[in-house]
Structure formats: C-alpha cells, structure tokens
Structure 1
C-alpha cells in the first residue's frame, strides 16, 4: 500500500505520460496534413513513433499503479486543472493538479523520449 505522497507521485507520472502521448498524437496529425511542409509526412511519422513509445510508458505507469492497488475511477480536465478520482483498498480519493504543474512534467517526459531515441 502506497502512502498519499507516493500515490500523488505515481499519478503525476501517469498523467505526464498521458499528456505527452496526447500531445504527440495531435502534433503528428497536424504535421501530416500540413500542405506547406515538404517533409510533413516524415515529421509526422517520427512523432507517431514517439507517440507509440509514450503510450507504452503510460501503460507501464498505469500498470505500476494497479500493482500497488491503485485503481483510477475517472479523469476530468476542467478550467486549467486535471482531476483524478482513484481508490486504494476500497478508499476513494481525488488528486487535483493545475495544468501549470502538469505541462512541465510532460515536457520532461518528452525530453526523456527524445534523449533515448
């Protein structure tokens, strides 16, 4: 069983990978459809590859939470904040994080992906 601060760290890691994955997928679509870029499809393919790696990392972070007994009940993004409802050993709780804190964490995860590619 994780402590509250450990749960918050694991949720932040999972959310950061989730945001990284979403952003890369969105950017890949934009690059592939950009008519003014000569190599738009090539750039899009690179971003899609990074997106697949981010998806794998996001799933691994989620699995690590589940192994520790954490179940995510729901996620809601509203007014610049992300809310995660979760439970551990039958006790529900909520994690709340502002986008100003989540964005830098996602940027760090993207940096990790780029360094390893």
Structure 2
C-alpha cells in the first residue's frame, strides 16, 4: 500500500491489527497505533477495540487499558475485549470490577 501511495482505511487497520494480535507482532501494532492516532482513527470504536485486543493479546495490558480508557465511546465488543483481557491475564477482580462499571455506565447489561 505504501508503494502504491494508498492510505489504509479503518477496515484495513482492523484487519492488520488482528493479524498482529494473532502472531504477537506488537512492534508493528504500535506503529499502527501511532498511524491511527495521527489520522484520527483511534476515535473509531472498531479501530480502538482492535487496538485493545492487539495490545492485550501481545501481553501489554497497560497499553490496552490506556486505549480503552481514551475511547470516546465504547460498545459491548470493546467492553468485552478489555474484560476478557483482564480475565485471561489472571486479573479476575479487575475484570469483575470493570464488568460492574460497564453495567453502571450502561455499556451493556444491568447487574442484578
């Protein structure tokens, strides 16, 4: 794409981030993060969720949480990505706390 002087769009970034997450290519994922930030794509809920997922699957929960917290809007998928990341990395109490916060903020469900 670079040689063809074609700029990637949101869909391209999401797919590349998914590939980075699958193979643990966090360095390239960070480059995509910087690119997305410069182009304003981090405000896209789907791109931001893909960044959360990539950072989490590459083992960098701090970056995943930073992206998550800076998202201007969250949907069920973005909440699930962060909650799952915490649980997967053995941080069950934080995952439960985030689920409770999601419920209170109207991100998905009502906790009973």
TM range (shorter): under 0.3
Q: Which has the higher helix share?
A: 2
Structure number with bigger Rg: 1
Scaled by the length of structure 2, what TM-score is found?
0.27
Higher strand share: 1
Q: Which has the higher contact order (CA 8 A, sep 6+)?
A: 1
TM-score, normalised by the number of residues in structure 1: 0.27
